[in-house]
Amino acid sequence: MERRTIFSGWLLPVVLVLPQLALTVVFFLWPAGQAIWSSMTRTDAFGIRTMFVGLENFSDLFTDPLYLDTIERSVFFCAAVAALSMGVALVLASAADREIRFRGLYRVLLVWPYAIAPAVAAVLWILLLHPQIGLIGRWLNSIGIPWDYKLNDTQAMLVVILASAWKQVSYNFIFFLAGLQSIPRAIIEAARMDGARGFFRFRTVVLPLLMPTVFFLLVVNLVYAAFDTFATIIALTDGGPGKATETLVVKVYRDGVVNLDIGSSSAQSVVLMAGVIVLTALQFRFLGRRSGGG
């Protein structure tokens, strides 16, 4: 899409676009280029010589069982967070999309958690699930279920999934509610007159019309779970116990910042960039469809 009516002159627009462009080149393109370059180099054990090794870092990465484990773990984590968070949000949005009393109040109560920082979400969940001080954690131990997410791998994964999904419910709620409200009432009424009720009406009439929102949110949630949960995981489990909650981003951080293995960390960054590009492309496909369909 282009405008037909424009101002003349080219000096002013160049000046206007320059700040954004400069930031992009200095803080995005240059580092990205560096990442690609250092993903193809390796520094010797003494940190003196850096040599070009081509795609060796990548072949090492993809033959490393630990890395493949991390990929598998991240995929599971992202899928679980997206499914849980979207599921809960959809139930809440369906309930809020009715002409009931206090619905304004309910909406406020479900929208404000958008502001919660991932790290603060972690603190709140520690208060619930910590084996010694947490309300629920202590209760579980007292009824004879051994609960300690700092020692048990499965419990650690469960805790980071719960905290991460919880934080994202609000965002999904806002979009699901907007999606539900954009479905014409006449369609719902027609389905009601035809005798479609309850869950059947939801599954056969509402859900198909809501699919664009579902796809859009799916991509957003996967990106959120992959990248924005870093603080939640670090604060709750620090990636542990062992590597039980180490996602791809946590691993890039551990390998690059903590263990200073620049070559491998850069190769991992490049793999992540490829992942984001695929997800962004998908998002634009669905966004295009969303706005195209009205």
* Residues 33-52, interacting with other proteins (CB under 8 A): 33-35, 38
Candidates 21, 145, 187, 258: give the one binding other proteins (CB under 8 A).
Answer: 21
C-alpha separations of 264 from 52, 255, 272 in Å: 13, 7, 12
Q: Does 220 engage in binding with other proteins (CB under 8 A)? A: yes
Residues 136-165 that bind other proteins (CB under 8 A): 138
Nearest to 136 by CA among 120, 125, 121, 123: 125
Residue 19 CB, shortest distance to other proteins, in Å, is: 5
Stretch that binds other proteins, among 4-12, 63-71, 73-81, 152-160 (CB under 8 A): 4-12
Closer Cβ to other proteins, 21 or 190, answer by number:
21
Quick one: which of 84, 157, 235, 244 contacts other proteins (CB under 8 A)? 235
10 binds other proteins, rule: CB under 8 A: yes
Q: Is the peptide bond prior to 113 cis by the omega test (within 30 degrees of 0)?
A: no
Q: Which residues touch 222 (CB under 8 Å, ≥6 apart)?
A: 78, 79, 82, 279
Distances (CA, A) of 103 to 100, 109, 132, 155: 6, 10, 38, 36
Give the 3-state secondary structure of residue 19.
Answer: helix
Query: What string marks each residue from 246 to 285 as x (binds other proteins by CB under 8 A) or -?
Result: ---x--xx--xx----x--xx--x--xx--xx--x-----
Q: Which of residues 55-94 bind other proteins (CB under 8 A)?
A: 88, 91-92
C-alpha 118/C-alpha 120 separation (Å) is 5
